[in-house]
Amino acid sequence: MRSKFLIGFICCLYSSLSFSDCQPHACVDEYIEKIYTNTNGTVYIATSGDETKLNCTPESGIYLTLLLSEPAGEAIYSTLLAAQIANKKMLLRVNEGTSGCKVAYVTLEKQ
What does the mean pLDDT of the chain come to? 88
- Domain ranges for the chain, please list them: 21-107
57 and 98 in contact (C-beta within 8 Å)? yes
Encode pLDDT of 45-55 as tens digits.
999 999 999 99
* Least confident window among 17-21, 69-73, 79-83: 17-21
Average pLDDT over residues 13-37: 82
Average pLDDT over residues 70-87: 97
Name which CATH class applies to 21-107: mainly beta
Average pLDDT over residues 21-50: 97
* Separation between Cα atoms, residue 54 and residue 25, nearest integer Å: 6
Its pTM stands at 0.81
* Separation between Cα atoms, residue 100 and residue 1, nearest integer Å: 50
Quote the DSSP letter at residue 100. T
